[in-house]
Every structure is written in C-alpha cells, then in structure tokens.
Chain A
Amino acid sequence: MCSGSPDAFELKTVRRREANGRLVAAVVAFASLLFAAVADARELKVCADPNNMPFSNAAGQGFENKIAQIIAKELDARLSYTWWAQRRGFVRNTLKAGLCDLIPGTPANLEILRATAPYYRSTYVFVTRRDSPEITSFNDPRLRTLRIGVQLIGDDGANSPPAQALGRRGIVGHLVGYPVYGDYSAPNPPARIVEAVASGEIDVAVVWGPLAGYFAAKQKTPLRITPVTPRIDGPQLPMVYDISMGVRRGDDALRDEVDAALAKHKAEIDATLARYGVPRLDTGGSADR
C-alpha cells in the first residue's frame, strides 16, 4: 500500500510554508493542483465491526468511527471501511489479507499487529444500580451472594479477566455468563449485560469500561460504574489495558503517520472519548460517574 508517499509528505510541507506568507501562494496553488490527484487517490482503509457500539457500527456512530475520521482528515485521505464482525481470525482475514490497513481500538500489546502509541487507557468496571451498594473490589465478600454478570469470550482457552478473577476466588455460585458475541442478529449484542443490571436480572456486572460507560448512561435506571480493584489480579492478570490502533507488522510508515495524528489531535480525541463516556485511567480524571 502507498502509505506515507513522498507526494503526500511534500504536500504537507508546502502547506506549512503557505502559512508563513503569501509569497509562496502561487507555488502552493500550483503544487495543490499537481498533487490534487494524489491526495484524492489516498484512501485510509479501516476494518471495523459493523455492529459493535460504542466502538463502531456501519452507520459510523461509534467513537472509533469518529476518531478514524479525525485521523483520515489529518492524513488527507478518504476514509473507507471493510466491515467484518470481530471474531476469531478478524485480524488474519482483514488486515493481514490486505482488505484494510488500520484497525482502531486494539490492545497496545497485541502481538499479531503493530500498535501505535496508546490513545486511551481504560479498565474493567463494576456496574451497579445507584440504589444498591457500590462494589469496588473482587475481594468484596458480598460478591459471594450477589448475582454477577460476566462477559464470556468464545475462543481458544480465552476468558475475560473478570471471569478469571472471580473463578480464582471461587466466586462462581451466582455467575451469569453473557457471551461478548451475544446474538449478533440483534443490535449491539454486548449491551445486554448492562441492560441486565438496569432491569434487575443481575445485581452487578463486570464489564470492559467503554462498553459499560456508554450503555450505562443510556439506561432509564440510574447506574454507577466503578473501576475494579485490584488493577492487576494475582501474579499476571491485568484489568487495565492501553488501547492503540493497529497496522500490519512492518507497516511502520503508516504507524508513524497515525501516531503523529493521534498526538496532534489529542484534545479532540479526548473530547470524543469523553462524549461517549469512556472511563479512563490515563487522564487523571475520575472514571466514576
């Protein structure tokens, strides 16, 4: 793929000079004409899930869609999507197969792709009703009697960290499993676990922060979200993850460009994440709402 082509780079140089005075305006106009075709031809090909709010959906309503727009604009590229349900083989079938060049919202330490610098850090949270006691820790003895919703992930030997943390403590008497996949024929299948807290089906849910923040705010019943503790459970089980964007291994040029765009537009990106209620641990702001 033609990412970070010299043409695009040169165009940016010229534009910067343009800002320094009119003297180069004519040159700029000429350069713009010359490179207009190139700029138009540039495409930022993104792979995303078409039915996975608050992250992304086919209507472009997710915060990853919005942040991808910010990046594309900075790169002077037309944003295009390949929609693919995030399942086993997602990276292999999309990014690695060349259907796209960028996947937003991937853990920073995912080895199968090359990650940008992280643009937010979130955490698993307890979701409770505001009229019920707040849970802050996996060591809270009340968890042994409460009905707890946990996200289950169907994949090779995989578990959501909260499921592992509860299993380690033997807190399994009243667990209700909600597959992360959910029923994909319904809109936003992962939302079910948060709705279940609001409806009283379960007393507490342990959910990945962005998902919880977005859907908790949408319920009629007032809910509260509280980051889980401990942040790292046992010897090696993190509840907190840095989230980056991913490119193909070896696509350093695009990675550097996206990195630069993420840094340059940090304020706008932070505002977007805040608008979607993403609980963050990297901003000094409280994740409690």
Chain B
Amino acid sequence: MPAKNYASTRYSELADINEDNVKNLQVAFTFSTGVNKGQEAAPLVVGNTMYIVTPFPNIVYALDLSKPGAPMKWKYEPNPEPAAQGVACCDVVNRGAVFADGRLFFNTLDGHTIALDAATGQPAWNAHVGNINIGETITMAPLVVKGKVLVGNSGGEMGVRGWVKALDAGDGHVVWTAYGTGPDKDVLIGPDFKPHYEMDNGKDLGVTTWPPEAWKIGGGNMWGWISYDPDLNLIYHGTGNPGPWNPDLRPGDNKWTSGIFARDPDTGAAKWFYQWSPHDLHDYDGINEQILLDMNWQGKPRKVLVRPERNGYLYILDRTTGEVLSATPYGAVNSSKGVDLKTGRLIENPDKKTGTGRVIRDICPTASGLKDWQPSAFSPKTGLLYIPHNNLCMDEEGLEVNYIAGTPYVGMNVRMIPGPGGNRGAFTAWDIAAAKPAWSLRENFPVWSGAVATGGNVVFYGTMEGWFKAVSARTGELLWQFKTSSGIIGQPVTYRGPDGHQYVAILSGVGGWAGAIVSGDLDPRDATAALGFVNAMKDLKNATTAGGTLYVFRLP
C-alpha cells in the first residue's frame, strides 16, 4: 500500500542506505510513464514487480525488477472517459494502487474501481462507483482491509455529496456506503457512535447543522488517506470541505464535513467523529493522512492518532475515543486562534473571516492548507514526524467574473502569496513528544511531495523544481540530491530488490493543484487561476516543465 502499512508511518526498516553512504546513490533505472501530468502516485513493489499508476488516462504498468532495466511485464489501459478531465478540480492526478491477495486495486478519474490480476494485468472486476455526470471523480488510492476495498469520491467543489464505500475484494459489489452528510442512517451512525465532544453528539446532525436540504449538496468528500488499527478494528478517514464554498449559504457546523471518522471496517458503522473545522470558511478539507502510534503521552501509554491538518495544527488524538490531546500550529496560522481542548472547537479568528464582498488580506494558511494531501512519514528511531508542507497565505480581494455552461458568475478573487520568511514551502521534522519542531528546511516552492523515512536514518522527499533529496533524519542535513527531469509531487518509496539491494523510487512529473500552472499550462498573468495558486507559482514555469518519469536509485 502507498503508506507502507496500516498505521501509515511510511517508515522502512531498510538500512543499507544510511547517512554515510547515501551520497553515493546513483540511478539504477528510469521509466517514462508517457503521461506528462502531475504524478502523485506511489510506486508499489510486490515481490519482483513494481506497479505504477499514471494520472489520467490512468495507465497501470507492471515492471519486472528481476531483469536489468526493469522491462515492462504488462500494461493495462482502462480508457477512462475524457470528460472526467473537465470535472476534476485540480489536475487529473492519481495517488496509486494497492495490492492484496494477488490482485492490484486502483481507481480511475471517471469513477471506476478496478481489480487486476497482479501477475497478468487481466481485469478481475470493474466497479463503476462514481458518476462524472454529477461531478464525481476519484483520485485517491484505495485501501484493502479484511477483504474490503475502501474507496471515496472527490468533487466537493461541485456540490457533490461525499461518501466512502467498501467494495468486496472478491467481486467488487458494494458492501456498505457511508455518506459525509445527511441523516444518521446514511452516515452509518447508530448505537455504537460515541463522539468524545458534545458538539458532535446529537441526532441527525448531518441534517440539522445545515439549512434545510443543504446537506444534499454539502460535500464532505473523502479523497485522501485511510488508516486502520487491526487491534481496535477501526478504520480512520477524514472528510472534505463543505459545499457550496460560500459559508453564508450554510449557517451551522455543517456536519460531517472537515472532520475525521473512526468506523468499523466490516459494517462501516461510525464509532466516533471529531470535526477539525466546524463551519469551514477556508476550504480546509480534512482528508490528510493520519499516523497511528502507540506512545507515552504525559507518562501514560496511549494509542494515538497524529494528524498534520490542513488548518495548520498538528493534532494528537486518542484514537480509541477521538479526544484531542493536543493541537499545536506547525507553521504560520492566523485564520484561527487555537483549539479549545475542553470543547474540542477550533477558535475562529473573526478578523480573517471571509464572506461575500469582503476584502481580507493575509489569511494563513491558504485554501491549500499548511499541508495538503502530501503525506508525511514517521521514524520510530528518531520519534520525529517528517512533514512536507506549504508556507502560503492569501488575500481575498473581492470578486471576478467567470462563466460556466453559459451562466455568468463571480468567483472569489483569491491571490496566494508566500508566507512569513518568503519561502513557499518547508520540510519540517516535528518532535511529537515535545510538541515542537526539531528542525525545518526552507524550500522555495511548496513541498508537494510525500516523504519516506528509513532505518538508515535517511529521509527522502522531492521539490517542485525537480530535486530528489536525501536528508539526515536526525539533523535535516542535506546528504544527497539528484535533479530529475520535472518537478516532484509524488510519493517516494524504498524497497529491497530481487538482488538483495535497497532501492529508492520516486515518480517525477510536476502538476497537482500547486503545479497546475505547468501541467495545465495556465497563464502566469492570470493571478487568480487555480484559486489563486497561480499567483504564488508564477515562476514555476521558469523552474520546471511537465514530465512523467520514474526514477529508481541504488548504491553502486
């Protein structure tokens, strides 16, 4: 699975590559995906084979690692509907495949979940679960838990109602569906539901915390990461932002958007929920990764869930109950003033409250969050969480005209700007026990790639200029870097090859929301494009061009 394990640590015990010898890393082989769009997928290695999923048109390649140069074993082309490209919000990315029981499971942009025979690439089943005609797309990597393939939809911007579905891994039929808004029966809230905070407790809050009927187009999508605790038998997944975007239209807490659920994987029944951003004002999707750790918290062993959240706080929750143990900003935050640990509520900053026709300057973080989807890694050796993230703020300066389907409308005139210090990205090692950064590296562009930590005390991540970097897990010292052909927004992985050597792999290819200016060829003069991200990324076109290449490294 892309996150390495159910706890989503993205930690590999492999230690052949270490702080001393990593400087000798060299390219073992490369492979062009043939698709020059944002590459967000994690290469998946199972036995002697590596599997890659490309962005739209979502081609799957199987590469034979046992042969020199890793030749192609097979490829599978799902041929998704081209119209899906116009529906997807932010580039046509895919976050990778997952392997279980001899099969490979992945999603297509046009809403299919497909199971392939991992040996031959022959489809076992193809389930059409999302409908692009109503604005649904799928970009997330599925997770297989106890014979069920967990999948969620994207499309909160379109007023699409979010859901998570469990498909039977054997034949693809839908076992359960849990919606992100609506009555308890749709959300799979029943007698087992015991939220820790009063604000999340009550009947049919997915209806009553909205104006009448508004939940039907309320968003709360699930396009991010799912973790699983086999001992507690709970899956954990976040929910996306509420829709429509204008908060004036949806007074109330807008349950169950911008929060996190713990569910029983067998039935989907919700066990607890916590809302990161009640009545979200800033497009703070709550879909980031959650790392499950067992650690001593204030002298007691606790089962915790660590979440570097889009709204700018590093949350530590008790994953059995949903109680917030701490919430600390891990970067520049002024859109809120903290989290009230008694009530669990985020304390909004009224000075930064957006609304129709108001001009608000310097809101931090932006809609893309202090951190977006890009997954962090945790090393048990150092006790540090390695967070790739953004350092951006935004001005909302009134309205600009646009049109869709013959209908003129106004969009928020958002301009993203570099955050404090002027660097737009950072790679921060967060000391979980001390609740403070151990060190932080400044990056010119947002760090939109994932991270992987290793037993050799080396951490890998990529930059949007295209540098693939190895830094010391202890100090952050740059130990090695390699310039790939395009900006990196993918998920690095490390594995032991059939020859016994440790390898490190990354897909290079700029894009995603942050890199849309390059992959979508947006006009740098159009400062408000991609919800203002283009303004912050004007110079990306001078730093990198589109690409789509796998790079694999090893020691000589």
| A interface with B by C-beta (< 8 Å) | 49, 52, 55-56, 64, 84-90, 92-93, 96, 105-107, 109-112, 151-161, 163-164, 166-168, 170, 172-177, 179-185, 190, 208, 210-211, 234-238, 241, 243
- 7 smallest beta-carbon distances between A and B, as pairs: A154-B158, A167-B248, A87-B86, A157-B412, A156-B531, A55-B406, A185-B133
Q: Closest CB-CB distance, B404 to chain A, in whole Å?
A: 6
Other-chain residue from B83, B244, B355, B402 in contact with A163 (beta carbon distance below 8 A) = B244
Interface contact B251-A86, CB-CB below 8 Å: no
Q: Is B550 among interface residues, defined by CB-CB distance under 8 A? A: no
Give the residue of B86, B407, B414 whose beta carbon is less than 8 angstroms from that of A180. B407
Which chain A positions have C-beta within 8 A of B28? none
Q: Is B38 an interface residue (CB 8 A)?
A: no
Q: B410–A110 contact, CB under 8 A?
A: no
CA distance A38 to B244 in the complex (A): 51
How near does chain A come to B138, taking the closest CB pair, in angstroms?
16
Contact A177–B217 (Cβ < 8 Å): yes
A65 to chain B, nearest CB (A): 12
* Chain A residues whose CB sits within 8 angstroms of the CB of B13 once the complex forms: none
Question: Do the beta carbons of B159 and A211 come within 8 Å of each other?
Answer: no
B326 nearest CB across to chain A (Å): 32
Give Cα distance in the complex from A153 to B243, angstroms.
10
A156-B157, A190-B407 are known contacts; what are 13 more A-B pairs with Cβ within 8 Å?
Answer: A85-B86, A87-B404, A88-B87, A110-B403, A158-B402, A161-B409, A167-B246, A177-B217, A179-B134, A179-B159, A234-B357, A236-B399, A237-B356
User: Which residues of the other chain, A, contact B357 by a CB distance below 8 angstroms?
Assistant: 164, 168, 234-237
Asked if residues A157 and B407 are in contact (CB atoms below 8 Å), the reply is no
Chain B contacts for A85, CB-based, 8 A: 83, 86, 405
16 contacts between A and B (CB under 8 A): A55-B405, A86-B404, A87-B86, A87-B405, A89-B86, A106-B403, A107-B401, A110-B402, A110-B403, A151-B407, A153-B404, A158-B412, A161-B408, A179-B134, A183-B133, A234-B356
What string of 1s and 0s marks CB contacts (under 8 Å) between B177-204 and chain A? 0000000000000000000000000000
Q: Which of A151, A179, A234 contacts B135 (CB 8 A)?
A: A179
Q: Among A90, A173, A183, point to the contact of B211 (Cβ < 8 A).
A: A173
Residues of B within 8 A of A56 (CB): 406
CA distance A180 to B406 in the complex (A): 9
On whether the beta carbons of B520 and A92 are closer than 8 Å, the reply is: yes
Name the segment of B40-48, B480-488, B522-530 touching the other chain.
Answer: B522-530
Which residue of A is nearest B407, CB measured? A208
Q: B249 near A: Cβ within 8 Å?
A: yes
Which residues of chain A are within 8 angstroms of B134 by Cβ–Cβ distance? 179, 181-184
Number of residues in B with C-beta < 8 Å to the partner?
58
Distance of A88 Cα from B132 Cα, bound (Å): 13
Cβ contact within 8 Å between A107 and B405: no
In the assembled complex, B214 has its CB within 8 A of some CB on chain A: yes
**A159:B404 contact, CB within 8 angstroms:** no
Given A156-B531, A163-B249, A167-B246: A112 touches B404 (CB 8 Å cut-off): no
Cα-based distance from A219 to B357 in the complex (angstroms): 36
Give complex CA distance A208, B87 in Å: 22
Closest to A84 in B: B86
User: Does B521 count as interface, using CB distance less than 8 angstroms?
Assistant: yes
Q: Is B213 an interface residue (CB 8 A)?
A: yes
- Residues of chain B lying within 8 A (CB to CB) of residue A159: 244-246, 249, 356, 409-411
CB of A168 within 8 A of CB of B356, answer: yes
B283 at the interface (CB under 8 A from A): yes
Measured CA separation A170–B531 after assembly (Å)? 25
Residue of A nearest to B414 (CB): A157
Interface check B89, CB cutoff 8 A: yes
Residues of B with C-beta under 8 A to A155:
157, 402, 404, 411
Asked if residues B406 and A105 are in contact (CB atoms below 8 Å), the reply is yes
Of the candidates B86, B249, B523, which one forms a contact with A175 in the assembled complex, judged by CB atoms under 8 Å apart? Answer: B249
Q: Which residues of B contact A172 (CB under 8 A)?
A: 211, 214, 248-251
B99-142 residues at the A interface, CB under 8 angstroms: 131-135
B308 to chain A, nearest CB (A): 24
Does B400 sit at the interface, judged by CB under 8 A? yes
A164 partner residues in chain B, CB cutoff 8 A = 246, 248, 356-357, 410
CB distance from B57 to the nearest CB of A (A): 15
- Contact status of A211 and B406, CB under 8 A, knowing A152-B159, A177-B217: yes
Mark B36-63 against chain A: 1 for CB-CB distance below 8 A, else 0.
0000000000000000000000000000
CA distance in complex: A137, B292 (Å): 54
Complex CA distance for A235 and B399, rounded to whole angstroms: 10
A64: which B residues are within 8 A, CB to CB?
Answer: 406
Q: Is the CB of A89 within 8 A of B530?
A: no
B86 in contact with A158 (CB, 8 Å): no
| Chain B residue with Cβ nearest A64 | B406
| B404 contacts across to A, CB distance below 8 A | 86-88, 90, 153, 155, 158, 180-181
CB distance from A90 to the nearest CB of B (A): 7
Shortest CB-to-CB span from B417 to chain A, Å, is 16
Given the complex of chains A and B, what is the CA–CA distance between A110 and B530 in angstroms?
Answer: 16
* Given known A177-B244, A211-B406, contact A166–B157 (CB-CB < 8 A): no
Q: Is A158 in contact with B87, judged by CB distance below 8 angstroms?
A: no
Distance A184 CA – B398 CA, assembled complex (angstroms): 31
Cβ of B346 to closest chain A Cβ, rounded Å: 20
Q: Residue of B at shortest CB range from A179?
A: B159
A109 to chain B: closest CB distance in Å?
Answer: 5
